[in-house]
Structure 1
Amino acid sequence: MIELGVNIDHVATLRQARRTYEPDPVIAAAMAEQGGADGITFHLREDRRHIQDRDVELLLRTVSVKTNFELACADEVVGIACRLRPTWALLVPEKREEVTTEGGLNVLADRGRVAASIAQLREAGILVSLFLDPDPAQVAAAAELGSDAVELHTGPYALARGEEQQAELERLRVAAAETTAAGMRVHAGHGLNYTNVRPVAAIPAMVELNIGHSIVSRAVFVGMREAVAEMRRILDVVAPRG
């Protein structure tokens, strides 16, 4: 079985376009649970472009499945996570000018900050995952710092076509095997949709996929509950529930 985490950030993106109260990502989370989500993912960015502090507070009080709090290695946001104690904290890189996360965390180049964030989060009883490109050196560094999981960046795979896409898929397979061998869980996400998700879900070591934009886009037409249920059915064909 593959666990499905549903990222609700872009429900908040739509709300913030008018800076109003709807659509509410907290309601979206409840509907995603009804559709079969195993977890709810949300990213409290330093610039607060979509998810707001109020959302995080309410999500941590109302979500009944596991919660996956995406955040940068920034003292303020790490402090919020430590206070609210989600199930998982996913450390990601963050740049103000990017539209969405553009690549994996560079653990090798920013080892001190990453190590400090991991230590704070784990002291608060939070499981920690690092969002990484499928690079063996980065995976090894994550293991050395005591990360509980690695979330592999699937963006290049999602954008590639033909032989290039197969090469990206192989990079993911190799990194997934190395992650498991190092004693960490394998998660993946970014750019996955109803068409390209199957090969990633079929990677033997895969435990969890986090998918947002595609599900929220589908929800515009069929509703959040059904959009999540459709993705859940695809994953259950690839890796049936035990």
Structure 2
Amino acid sequence: MTKLSVNINKIATLRNSRGGDTPNVVRAALDAERFGAQGITVHPRPDERHIRYSDVRDLKKVVSTELNIEGNPIESFVELVMEVQPAQVTLVPDAHDAVTSNAGWDTISHRDFLTEIVALFRSKGIRTSIFLDPDPKFVEAAAATGTDRIELYTESYARAYASGREAAIAPFVETARRALQYGLEINAGHDLNLENLRYFAETVPGLQEVSIGHALISDALYLGFENTIQLYRKQLRK
């Protein structure tokens, strides 16, 4: 079954909007695990506008499933990952001022850089994943970096799902099949929700994990945190 990793960035955004420590991100992570999350994802950015580097250190002490740290491997991010040593690091090429991640890596142009970063993290036993657009042409270069996984950037699928899910998912299926040929495992994330998740999980081959934050936390406002996590888990059961 595809695992659900809950991204708790939005919990930190709410906390930071008021100051103080409510809601508490560590408590949110522990509750998410208790309610059925199989991993916790955070995406610290240099300006710490949501998850702070100190949050990541605190979470490492208590997360008992899998801690996945996403981010652009700038110097401060690399130092944090090497210190914390999460279960997984997901490399995302987002600009420092990006509202949210909006593109995958050009693994052809950045292969040498990514190879160096992947080797560094894997030397500490950290599973690596490279954020990738649904385009098979980037898969071979991704595999050449030595990465363990790719994470498919699913915004285009979510945007086009309502107008034609078969066409929307086709490039993801093709890219996933190519990745499997190269021995890569597959994650996915961005704008997956209760409407489009089941079809994606059923159709994309070899899907190991999805990380979901914005939609899940938004649904939890109406449906409750525990119930929402269970509903997302239900979409991933085959």
Measure how far apart 1:51 and its partner are. 0.3
Query: Which residue number in structure 2 is paired with residue 171 of structure 1?
Result: 171
Which consecutive residues of structure 1, in runs of 5 or more, have no partner in the other structure?
none
Query: Which residue number in structure 1 is paired with residue 94 of structure 2?
Result: 94
Measure how far apart 1:98 and its partner are. 2.2
Q: Is the 8 A contact 2:94 2:103 kept in 1?
A: no
Query: Which residue number in structure 1 is paired with residue 226 of structure 2?
Result: 225
CA deviation vs aligned residue, 1:64-121 (integer Å, no higher than 9, x gap): 1011111212111111101111000000011133211011122222223222211111
Secondary structure of residue in 1 paired with 2:138: helix
Measure how far apart 1:162 and its partner are. 4.9
Secondary structure of residue in 1 paired with 2:103: coil
Q: TM-score, normalised by structure 2?
A: 0.95
Q: What does 1:120-131 align with in structure 2 at a 5 Å threshold?
A: 120-131=120-131
Over the residues paired in the alignment, what is the CA RMSD in angstroms? Answer: 1.4
Amino acid at match of 2:5: G
CA deviation vs aligned residue, 1:22-45 (integer Å, no higher than 9, x gap): 111211111111121111110111
Q: Is the 8 A contact 2:5 2:211 kept in 1?
A: yes
Query: Which residue number in structure 1 is paired with residue 209 of structure 2?
Result: 208
Q: Which moved more, 1:128-137 or 1:15-24?
A: 15-24
* Residue 5 of structure 1 pairs with residue 5 of structure 2: yes
Query: Which residue number in structure 2 is paired with residue 186 of structure 1?
Result: 186
Secondary structure of residue in 1 paired with 2:236: helix
**1:87 to 1:213, Cα distance in 2 relative to 1, 3 A:** same
Query: Which residue number in structure 2 is paired with residue 147 of structure 1?
Result: 147
Secondary structure of residue in 2 paired with 1:33: helix
How far, CA to CA, are the matches of 2:216 and 2:85 in structure 1? 26
How far, CA to CA, are the matches of 2:177 and 2:133 in structure 1? 14
How far, CA to CA, are the matches of 2:161 and 2:82 in structure 1? 40
Secondary structure of residue in 2 paired with 1:118: helix
Count how many residue pairs are aligned between Structure 1 and Structure 2. Answer: 237
Q: Is the 8 A contact 1:28 1:224 kept in 2?
A: no
Query: Which residue number in structure 2 is paired with residue 62 of structure 1?
Result: 62
Secondary structure of residue in 2 paired with 1:47: coil
Which consecutive residues of structure 2, in runs of 5 or more, have no partner in the other structure?
none
Secondary structure of residue in 2 paired with 1:210: strand
Measure how far apart 1:179 and its partner are. 1.0
Amino acid at match of 1:111: R
Amino acid at match of 2:219: R
Query: Which residue number in structure 2 is paired with residue 29 of structure 1?
Result: 29
Measure how far apart 1:19 and its partner are. 2.9
Q: Is the 8 A contact 2:219 2:228 kept in 1?
A: yes
How far, CA to CA, are the matches of 2:161 and 2:232 in structure 1? 22
